[in-house]
Structure 1
Amino acid sequence: MRTGNEPVTARSPLRLRLGLGIWGLLWTAAGTTAFAWAGRPGWAAACGALFLVVAVDVVMVIRHIRQGPHYQPGRDIPPYEPDHG
């Protein structure tokens, strides 16, 4: 049910996503290194490609965090009526 106060109580998942992205960077870098050292070029390439995808995601998350909060309606905007349907 929508109460209309979501902009006031909303929380962004960006910091959690950043933490998980950094965790993914560590694991994919370790996987790439381990597979390359073990002589498995196919698996090393797969981990390297995944590393690049996660790195782009982390950069985008950091960019969104630095942009800061976006427009939120002020107190003069009335909340939505709850759905009684």
Structure 2
Amino acid sequence: MRTGSEPVTARSPLRMRFWLSIWGLIWATFGTVAFAVTGRPAWAAACGVLWLIVTADMAMIVRHIHQGPHYQPGRDVPPYDPPRVS
């Protein structure tokens, strides 16, 4: 919820989290394949679970990015009053 007291330069970290997820996805995929080829199924399974977690996190990040500026306010979104509880 925006109240108007946020710093002028505040930005959402969603795009940074998206690119870090891509980086994690690449490494998890590489680890899964490398450990499967070298005959270490436990480590391959661990990297596979990490791959699933990173994929789920990336799906959530993309969903939040697509929800638009209400959930990721930018400079063009003015602050709004918090809802009044009656």
TM-score normalised over the length of structure 2: 0.75
Match of 2:60 in 1: 60
Q: CA offsets, 1:31-58, max 9 Å, x none?
A: 0000000000000000000000000000
- Residues 7, 73 of structure 1: 8 Å contact kept: no
CA shift for structure 1 position 9: 3.7
Q: Between the two proteins, what is the percent identity of the paired residues? A: 64
Q: Could you say which residue in structure 1 is the equivalent of 2:79?
A: 73
Q: Which residue of 1 aligns with 2:11?
A: 11
Matched, 1:25 2:35: no
Q: TM-score, normalised by structure 1?
A: 0.76
Larger Rg: 1
SS in 1 for 2:12: coil
Q: Considering fraction of residues, name the structure with more helix.
A: 1
Contact 1:31 1:44 in 2 (8 A): yes
2:49 maps to a residue whose letter is: A
CA RMSD of superposed structures (Å): 1.9
Q: Distance in 1 between matches of 2:70 and 2:16?
A: 19
In the aligned structure 2, how far is the partner of 1:40 from the partner of 1:73? 53
Moved over 4 A (4+): none
Query: How many residues are paired up?
Result: 72
Q: Unaligned stretches of 5+ in structure 1?
A: 78-85
Residue matched to 1:45: 45
